[in-house]
Amino acid sequence: MSDELRAFLANARGTAATAKVLSLDDLRASRGEEAPAGEPWGLGALRGRFVELSARGATATLTAAIGLVIEAQREHEPVAWIMGASGSFYPPDVADSGVDLAALVVVRVPDLALAPRAAERLLRSGAFGLVVLDLGGGANVEIPMAHQGRLVTLAQAHDAAVVCITEKPEDASSIGSLVSLRAEATRTGMLGSGFEVSLRVLKDKRRGPGWTRAIKVRGPDGT
C-alpha cells in the first residue's frame, strides 16, 4: 500500500462529517423516539449487499446515495464513488450536503462498462465500507453476471455496501439478478427550507418488497 493511500485512509477513518441529510436515527431522536430493531435502510442494513437505487422523473437517487456516504463517514468508513465521463457528481453540492471530500475517493471511468471492474479493485483492498457506482448516465446499463457475483462476494467478505445508481422506470428490470435490494428514490414534497425523499422498495430478498421510508433533507444555505 502506498504512503499516499495510507494517508488518505487515515484521514477518512478519522473524519466525521456534519450532515445536512438527516438520518432516520436523527429524525427519531428529534421526536424522542427509539429506532426499531432491524432497521431495513441505512449503511448497517446494506452491508454485504448489492443494492440498486433507481427512479425516473422527480428522482432523488443522488440524494439518497449521498445520505449513505455521510452515514459511512460518520462511522469513519472510507467511501468510493465511481462514475462515467457524464456523471452528475458536483463537488460543491456534495460538500454543502455535509460530505468530507478529502475522505472520498472519486473515480471517473471512460466507459461505464468499466465501472464494475473498478469497484472490484477497490473492494478487494478491504479498505472501503461503501462503494457507489453512479450509472445514471448510461442507457439500459446491465452488469454481467460474473461481475455481479464478484461484487457480492467481495461485499460480503469485507462487510461493505455496493450501491448502484440508475435512471429507469419502476417496471424496468434491475441491473442484474443478484441485486439484493432495489429502491425507487423520488422527491415527494417541500418541508420548510428542505424537502422529503421517499424510498419505495421494489425488491428486497431479505424482507420482501413494498416497504417505504421517508427521509427529510435540508436545502442549501440561504433557501
pLDDT at 216: 76
pLDDT at 137: 63
Task: Please identify which residue in the block is written with the cell numbers 417496471.
Answer: 171
Asked whether 63 and 94 are in contact (CB, 8 A), the reply is no
Enumerate residues 6+ apart whose C-beta is below 8 A from 181: 46, 49, 51, 52, 201, 203, 204, 205, 206
Superfamily of segment(s) 3-218:
P-loop containing nucleotide triphosphate hydrolases (3.40.50.300)
DSSP string across 157-216: HTT-EEEEEEE--TTSPPS-TT--EEEEEEEEEEETTEEEEEEEEEEETTT-S--EEEEE
The CA distance from 77 to 70, in Å, is: 10
What is the rounded average pLDDT of the residues 35-56?
A: 83
The CA distance from 91 to 210, in Å, is: 33
pLDDT at 218: 59
pLDDT at 157: 97
pLDDT at 37: 44
Band of pLDDT at residue 17, cut at 50, 70 and 90:
very low
For the chain, what is the mean pLDDT? 82
pLDDT at 213: 87
**Domains of the chain by residue range:** 3-218
Asked whether 112 and 50 are in contact (CB, 8 A), the reply is no
pLDDT in tens, 167-221: 998 899 999 999 999 999 998 866 555 678 889 999 999 999 999 988 877 554 4
Which helix (H) or strand (E) segment holds residue 108: the answer is strand 104-108
pLDDT in tens, 75-134: 999 999 999 987 778 889 899 889 999 999 999 999 999 999 999 999 999 999 999 999
pLDDT at 14: 60
What is the rounded average pLDDT of the residues 141-149?
A: 92
- Picking from 213, 216, 222, the residue whose alpha carbon sits closest to that of residue 41 is 213
The CA distance from 187 to 190, in Å, is: 9
Residue 5 in 3-state DSSP?
Answer: helix
Band of pLDDT at residue 20, cut at 50, 70 and 90:
very low
> Which carries the bigger pLDDT value, residue 116 or residue 7?
116
pLDDT at 42: 93
